[in-house]
Amino acid sequence: MRTDRSHVTEGPIGITLLRMAGPMVIGILTMMLFNVVDTFFIAQLGPEPLAAIGFTFPVVFVITGATMGMGIGMASVVSRAVGGGNHQQVAATTTHGLMFVIPLVLLFVGLGLFFHDSLFRLLGAGEEVLDLIHEYMFVWFIGVPFIVMPMIGNSAIRATGDSLTPSLIMMVASVVNIILDPLLIFGLGPFPRLELQGAAWATVLAYAMTFLASGWVLHRRERMLVFKRPVWQEVMGTWRALLYVGVPATCTNMLIPLANGLLTRLMAGFGTHAVAAFGVVSRIESLVMVGAFAMSTIMVPFAGQNFGAGKPERVAAALRFGLKYCFTISLLLWAVLAVGSGTIAQWFADDPEITAIIRPFLFWVPLTYGAFGYSLLVTSTFNGSGRPGKAMLIFGSRLFGFIVPLAWLGTQWLGIPGLFAAMMIGNIGAGLFARWMNHRFLLLGFDSPTISFKMVS
């Protein structure tokens, strides 16, 4: 690598983490904006296209969730190689990891195109929207290489300690999407009116820009791609190491929509207003947790590099800093949300029945976001150090050890407040469990597959 990233293994820990997390906040918000803009313009086409795009969200989430899981695997494996200081190994690891994306992409495209109609009928799509879904998803599936490759590539860049470049790449994608959406959806100027298919083309073309940008950074700037005949035993070694972290990380990502679906089902028992309110508070939670999400994302390369460099004490110190960071941010956010709960609720809904549900959530649940954020940091640390099973255990305990069963009991006894109480207990319980796992296992050696490289010219 031509750029010096020694700050990850040598620089001041708190400053390093904040510098790395700052760009990630922008990157995460950019991706949220990406989806909001798509939904806004598609809504102008009418209720049928909006309904059609709604049916695509679960499928898109599964594919992007799997890609993000593999990206965590890539960041973990590459960052440990970076920490070891062997650039040949870093380049070989990155190259072999991206080679893995080829069969992954072919799998996504093949399954998506072959089972398209059956899949969306299973999700409940009627014949009146099936053609619209096909218009959008045919283009989206064809463009999967441009969507998956840069997400994995950006994880490799982030593994070097550079969180700014991937965030800038995603900002460019968001800007391109914002520009192309109205042009291709409505046929402005010389562009044809493609409606829903235009939204798909805007997404694919925006990601194609990230494909080119991340490829240029990896090859030309970081020198992390090598074009030599590989030794297949070493390729398989990289793939095993990537899958060792990536598969559990992917499964962890899949737990989120499953748990949300179960909680939504519980809320549906209290009527449509309760479901609408739960949708609003879920979006608010995603926004206010951005700082914790950003810090947890950069903990993967930070932990990986420092474990690779033989400096686990820096990882322990980073988690101590992260604990203070999460609780400080949590208390500040709680103060804002508690004081402004009424006003904030009205921003998202003007129905008094919905706002009456949102307000107590904003007053009580954010008090526990510090514990939730800390559990995310420990989860990412275990992923980065090559112990994904422990990461999955922490994350799964919050959702299915605490929140889902307690929400079922809570709604039976207390109604909607019982679900909110379950979320608070789940956040606190996950934080305490993560704290115990941190003290019990963190400084032990990691147990993921090791890789050695000897490129063949």
Q: Does the residue 241 lie in any domain?
A: no
Predicted structure pTM score: 0.89
Shared-domain flag, residues 215 and 296:
no
Report pLDDT digits (tens) over 93-116: 899 989 988 888 888 889 888 888
Residues 34 and 110 in one domain: yes
pLDDT digits (tens, 9 = 90+) for 15-48: 999 999 999 999 898 888 887 788 889 888 888 8
**pLDDT grade, residue 401 (50/70/90)?**
very high
Report DSSP letters for 205-253, one per residue. HHHHHHHHHHHHIIIIIS-----SPPPHHHHHHHHHHHHHHHHHHHHHH
* 221 and 289 both lie in a single domain: no
Do residues 93 and 212 share a domain?
yes
Q: Is residue 244 part of a domain?
A: no
In a domain, 136, yes or no: yes
Same domain, yes or no, for 257 and 202? no
Same domain membership, residue 264 and residue 185: no
Q: Is residue 245 part of a domain?
A: no
Q: In this structure, is residue 242 part of a structural domain?
A: no
For residue 34, is it within any domain? yes
280-314 per-position pLDDT tens digit: 888 889 889 999 999 999 999 999 999 889 898 99
Based on the domain organization, do 177 and 256 belong to the same domain? no
DSSP 3-state assignment of 170?
helix
Confidence of residue 6 (pLDDT cuts 50, 70, 90): low
Indicate whether 209 and 114 sit together in one domain: yes
Q: Is 174 in the same domain as 55? A: yes
What string of DSSP letters covers 53-92? HHHHHHHHHHHHHHHHHHHHHHHHHHHHHHHHT-HHHHHH
Percent of the chain with pLDDT over 70: 95
Task: Tell me: do 189 and 256 sit in the same domain.
Answer: no
The answer to the question of residue 236 being in a domain is no
* Spatial contact of 232 and 101, defined as CB atoms under 8 Å apart: no
Whether residue 204 is found in the same domain as residue 279: no
Number of domains in the chain: 2
Same domain membership, residue 285 and residue 226: no
User: 265: which 2 tokens?
Assistant: 């089902």
pLDDT(427) > 50 = yes
**CA gap 30, 174 in Å, rounded:** 6
The residue segments making up the domain with residue 330 are: 252-441
- 243 domain residue, yes or no: no
Q: How far apart are CA 357 and CA 92, in angstroms?
A: 53
Calculate the alpha carbon distances from 446 to 304, 307, 332, 351, 376 in Å.
10, 8, 35, 52, 19
Residue type present at position 34:
F
Counting every residue written for the chain, the total comes to 457
Q: Where are the alpha helices (DSSP H) in 269-289?
A: 272-288
pLDDT tens digits along 165-185:
999 999 999 999 999 999 999
